[in-house]
Structures are given as C-alpha cells and as structure tokens.
A and B are shown apart, each in its own frame.
Chain A
Amino acid sequence: MRKRQRQAGNDTAGVTRRLFLTVAGAGAAMLPSLVSAQAPAVTKDALRPMVDAAELAITDEQLAKLAGLVGWSRGELRKLRDVETGLLGPAPMYLPPLPTARSSDHE
C-alpha cells in the first residue's frame, strides 16, 4: 500500500477536486484501483477544500463578502473544537427531555 501511494505521487497529472469527491464517494475500497488506473497525483492540497470554489453559484462580489463570513466562522469553529466536552459526551442531541405522562389525548 505504501509503495502504491509513492508511485501515484510520482505522476505529475493532478487530481481535480471533483474527481477527488467522486472517488471518495465511491467508497474507500475502490480508492487504490481507481488511483492506479487513472494515475492522478493525490496531494494534500486536494484533500483540503470541501467544495470547489468554481462550483459556488455566486458572483465575485458576493464571493468577497462570503470570504469574510467564512473567515469568521472558521475562526470561531476552531475555538469550538477546544470546548471541554469530557471523555464521554455530549452526544449531538437536540431534543428537549419529555415529561413523564404520555397520552395522545387533548385535555
């Protein structure tokens, strides 16, 4: 496995972000055969972006506005990863606890 990765890395043809998402979506088991068949170079850079900016349906002017929002949210989200959650929890719940008496009737 390690040998195969090195071979792929020697190929100068780049993996497009879309291909990366397609490959990732096809399942991890298929990844080695697809990579070797098409011989694209997988770089760390290809793994970073979640969405290809070219796919965003916005104008350059809106993109500039969006960049500010994304910068703010990424800074805040980094802080959230350090929030003390303890060894076990919490699970990502969002339902309020129920009262004990249950019945479908209206009073």
Chain B
Amino acid sequence: MSDPELARGTIAALAPQLRTRKISPVEVTEAVLDRIAAVDGKVKAYLTVMDADARRSARAAEQAIIAGNYVGPLHGVPVAVKDLYYTRGVKTTAGSKILADFVPDEDSAVVERLKRAGAIIIGKANTHEFAMNTWTPPTRNPWDLDRIPGGSSGGSGAALAAHECVAATGTDTGGSIRIPAAFCGVVGLKPTFGRVSRHGVIPLSWTLDHAGPMTKSVEDAAIMLGVMAGYDPRDSSTVDIRVPSYVRALTGDVRGLRIGLPRDYFFDAVDPEVEEGVRNAVKSLERLGADVHEVAFPQLASLPVVHACIILTEAATYHEKWLRTRPDDYAPDVRLPLEWGKLFTGIDYVQCQRVRELIRQESAAVLQTVDVVAAPSVPLPASKVGEDPVTIKGNKEGLVGATIRLTRLANHTGLPAISVPCGFTATGLPIGLQLIGRPFEEATVLRVAHAYEVQAGWRTKSAPV
C-alpha cells in the first residue's frame, strides 16, 4: 500500500527526500499509479498508462540514487507526457484514430531530456485530436466533473489537478498549455518560441507551436523548464543561447518591477468573477512592491483572422494527405477547420504573417515600457461539457474563439507567458492569471508568478475528485 500523500507532492517537495533517500522513486511511482487507478476512471486524463515502463524506470532510479548517482530534482519523479510527444516504443496517437496504432522508434527531444534528468515517464496524457481544439474529450475537470478541463493539453492539466502525476508536458499553439492550466487550477508555462525543442512533437502549426511544462507550482515550472530548454539542431527554431537557472530567479522580490495592465482587449469581454480575480492579483503584486502601469495594444483587432489563417493553413498543409485518404477518421470539430484551412490563398497567408509582424513589433514596444503584462489567461472559468457557444456577460461566443482570445497573442509574438492560479469563482472553479514577458526572459515571468503564488496561497486548495 503506497502513501497517498506522495502523489500530492511537488517536484520541489519530493526532490530533497529522494536525494537523501528518505523516500524511494519506487514509492512515489506506486503512489501515483495507485492514484491513477483510483480516479482516472472518472477523470480520464490518460490515453496510455505506462505502468510497467514506469516501475522499471523507478527501480533503475532507485538503484542509481543508492549508488550515489543522483542527477537532479527530476530524478525519480513521475511525469505525464502529452500524447503529441513521441515516446520510443510507446503508442503516440495525438488523440486521433489516424495514429491509433503509431509507435515511434525514437523519443521526442523533450522526452529525451526528461529521461536524462531521471524523470519517470508515467503515461501519455490525453490531447484534443491533433491539438486542434480546447476541450479534450473525454477528459473531465477534477474541480467539477461536469466541466471541461480545457485543451488541447487537457489530459495534462487534469492529471495534475487530480494528482495523477507530479509534473507534465503540454504544447501551446493558441493557448493549449495556459487554457487547461487556468481551467484546472495548475501552472502552465509557454516558453519563448525557440526556447524548447519541438523535435518529435506532432505539429499543428509550425510557426505557432510551442512545447512547455505544466506543473503544480511555479517553482516546479522553473525546474521543468531548466531541463526542457536548450538548443537542438533538429529543431531549426531553437536558438543557441544560455539557459539560465530559472529556480535561482525565484527570489520572491518584485519590488520595482513594472507590471503592464492592458486598458483594452484583454478586459473587453471577461466574466466578472475572472476579471475581479485578476485585478485582485495585480493589486497583490502592487502591494509586494511592483509598479503597475496601464498599457494598450491597438492592433489586436486583426488577431482573430490572422490566427485563423496562419494556424489553419499550416494545419491543412500537414493534414492534406489524410484529409484526402481518411477524412472519416477525423472528428467533425477537427475536420471542419482543417477543410477551412484549404481555402485561404497564398497572399492571405503571407499578408497575415506580415500583419503578425506588426503585432509583434507593437507588443515589443509595450514590453519596452514594462517588465511583464498581466491579464486573464482565459476570459471565463471552465464551461460545462458540451456547452458551445459559451456566454460571457450575456454575449454568446464560440467556445474555441473565447478560450484562445487572450492567449494567442503570445503564440504570434513568440513571447513567454505563464498561467498561474489566482483564485476561484463562487462555485469553486479556478481562475488563471496570465503574465507575458519579453523574449527569452522566462526568469522574470517565473519570478513574478512565484512571488504572487507564495503571497496568495491558493495552492493549499485541492480539487475534490
């Protein structure tokens, strides 16, 4: 019988105990596997539970630590991997019938790095089919099983909130790390474009895709990013620049840091409880010594069509052959936008990339005046399963459009952005604060998020599942 408290641990809490052999990787792994057995029938966070592989890896980690070969804070820690990441010898389906039996013969770059850091890969977390949507069926939200976990990394978010893993990976093309992080009350970090290799990650949109960590705390996100980040010649978007110690950046001190609070767009159509939670979080940062300044993003009116054109043209290109040969193997909510992607012209696509560059320049100018921008991650709390459109302040809006409305800017600009829990609605649903930083300045984003998280203390609440 395992100790259920071990499954509830964070990397930062478990690592010192693993290093000093107070607990064993085998105990932690068994605790997480027991937790999966107990709750995943309801949460449905996993597509594949790698119990045999995980137990083998845990025993190997135990032997290595006993032999004095502890390699770092992920050594012996169970990590869930989104089913978009290649895992050697383990099915990688992208949540689709198209790849139902696909078994890669290599690991993705991130999985390679995690394994090298001693992590125990515990299973493949559910994703919305090919990461194309934001609700991730059949996964449910551990805070309310009648609600969606967000997506497309909904399996990772739900597994974390239900303590079915200690840490997880996600991917983010329009918000797919930050949206489930906000809905599930966990931390999700989309790094700068080029900071983490996407080699071996099934693409949705090459110029918008990002790989990043999802965790139970900001400190854990810093630890995970430190392992995941770095140059990889197999992904030409990655850059050969120094990876700083993100954990060392977590000083708790935000005095003098400039926080940008958007006066428009990000607060134009937001659920009142979400808006209140985010504004209260910004006030907390102000009380901690940060300076708050109003900022504006006037070009964002064109972002919806720029996003649709770029992501769907690139996705339709990737899926073109399967759309011809296996159209019925896609779910309708995936097939329809892919078909839409065929209908943009070359000029449409390039002009959208040019307007995207204008938006990037405008965002860079805003971030010359402040260190981070604070905004809601998602304009509403987790919606009910099947609720589409959703209603915000009395106005109906499509679920996907609403959920990605505030996150996609960071995909188009490549800027690092984190979602950190900043409270709950009256019905007990988590709210996410989004912090967007300058290129390759994840350390500052993490520093602000961590200072807020420690001060706010939301992490003491646990999902009821």
Residues of B within 8 A of A104 (CB): 230-231, 240
Number of inter-chain CB pairs below 8 Å: 134
Q: Which residues of A (81-107) have their CB < 8 Å from a CB of B?
A: 81, 83, 85, 89-99, 101-107
Residues of A within 8 A of B350 (CB): 92
Chain A interface residue count, CB cutoff 8 Å, equals 38
Whether B353 and A50, one on each chain, are in contact in the complex, defined by CB atoms closer than 8 angstroms, is no
- B residues sitting closer than 8 Å to A (CB atoms) are 192-194, 207, 226, 229-231, 237, 239-245, 248, 302, 304-306, 308-309, 323-324, 327-328, 332, 335-336, 339-340, 342-345, 347-348, 350-358, 360-361, 364, 412-415, 439-440
A69 at the interface (CB under 8 A from B): yes
Pairs A–B under 8 Å by Cβ, sample size 11: A50-B343, A76-B302, A77-B305, A80-B355, A92-B356, A93-B357, A94-B360, A96-B192, A96-B193, A102-B240, A105-B242
Residues of A within 8 A of B356 (CB): 92, 94
Could you say which of B306, B308, B354, B364 has the most chain A C-beta atoms within 10 Å of its C-beta? B354
Least Cβ–Cβ distance between B290 and chain A, in angstroms: 23
| Residues 43-82 of chain A, each 1 if its beta carbon lies under 8 Å from chain B, else 0 | 0000000110001111000100110011011001101110
The distance in angstroms between the C-alpha atoms of A30 and B309, with both chains bound, is 31
Whether B305 and A76, one on each chain, are in contact in the complex, defined by CB atoms closer than 8 angstroms, is yes
B245 to chain A: closest residue by CB: A107
Residues of A within 8 A of B244 (CB): 107
The distance in angstroms between the C-alpha atoms of A81 and B415, with both chains bound, is 26
Least Cβ–Cβ distance between B252 and chain A, in angstroms: 20
Whether A76 and B304, one on each chain, are in contact in the complex, defined by CB atoms closer than 8 angstroms, is yes
Least Cβ–Cβ distance between A58 and chain B, in angstroms: 5
Whether A98 and B239, one on each chain, are in contact in the complex, defined by CB atoms closer than 8 angstroms, is yes
The distance in angstroms between the C-alpha atoms of A105 and B242, with both chains bound, is 5
A75 to chain B: closest residue by CB: B305
A93 to chain B: closest residue by CB: B357
Whether A73 and B305, one on each chain, are in contact in the complex, defined by CB atoms closer than 8 angstroms, is yes
Residues of A within 8 A of B231 (CB): 104
Could you say which of B194, B302, B343, B351 has the most chain A C-beta atoms within 10 Å of its C-beta? B343
Whether B241 and A65, one on each chain, are in contact in the complex, defined by CB atoms closer than 8 angstroms, is no
Residues of A within 8 A of B332 (CB): 62
The distance in angstroms between the C-alpha atoms of A13 and B308, with both chains bound, is 38
Least Cβ–Cβ distance between B342 and chain A, in angstroms: 5
Given the interface contacts A80-B355, A106-B226, does A70 sit within 8 Å of B241 by beta carbon?
Answer: no
Whether B357 and A90, one on each chain, are in contact in the complex, defined by CB atoms closer than 8 angstroms, is yes
The distance in angstroms between the C-alpha atoms of A31 and B348, with both chains bound, is 25
Residues of B within 8 A of A85 (CB): 354-355, 358
Whether A80 and B305, one on each chain, are in contact in the complex, defined by CB atoms closer than 8 angstroms, is yes
Whether A91 and B335, one on each chain, are in contact in the complex, defined by CB atoms closer than 8 angstroms, is no
The distance in angstroms between the C-alpha atoms of A83 and B302, with both chains bound, is 10
Whether B439 and A56, one on each chain, are in contact in the complex, defined by CB atoms closer than 8 angstroms, is no
12 extra interchain contacts, Cβ-Cβ under 8 A, other than A77-B348, A106-B245?
A56-B339, A57-B327, A62-B335, A76-B305, A77-B344, A80-B352, A92-B353, A93-B353, A94-B360, A96-B194, A96-B415, A106-B229
Residues of B within 8 A of A76 (CB): 302, 304-305
Whether A92 and B357, one on each chain, are in contact in the complex, defined by CB atoms closer than 8 angstroms, is yes
The distance in angstroms between the C-alpha atoms of A8 and B360, with both chains bound, is 48
The distance in angstroms between the C-alpha atoms of A62 and B439, with both chains bound, is 40
Least Cβ–Cβ distance between A81 and chain B, in angstroms: 6
Least Cβ–Cβ distance between A53 and chain B, in angstroms: 9
Whether A97 and B340, one on each chain, are in contact in the complex, defined by CB atoms closer than 8 angstroms, is no
Whether B343 and A51, one on each chain, are in contact in the complex, defined by CB atoms closer than 8 angstroms, is yes
Whether A81 and B351, one on each chain, are in contact in the complex, defined by CB atoms closer than 8 angstroms, is yes
Residues of A within 8 A of B207 (CB): 94
Given the interface contacts A80-B351, A96-B414, does A101 sit within 8 Å of B241 by beta carbon?
Answer: yes
Whether A73 and B309, one on each chain, are in contact in the complex, defined by CB atoms closer than 8 angstroms, is yes
Whether A90 and B440, one on each chain, are in contact in the complex, defined by CB atoms closer than 8 angstroms, is no
Whether B305 and A56, one on each chain, are in contact in the complex, defined by CB atoms closer than 8 angstroms, is no
Whether B440 and A96, one on each chain, are in contact in the complex, defined by CB atoms closer than 8 angstroms, is yes
Residues of B within 8 A of A106 (CB): 226, 229-230, 242-243, 245
Residues of B within 8 A of A50 (CB): 342-345
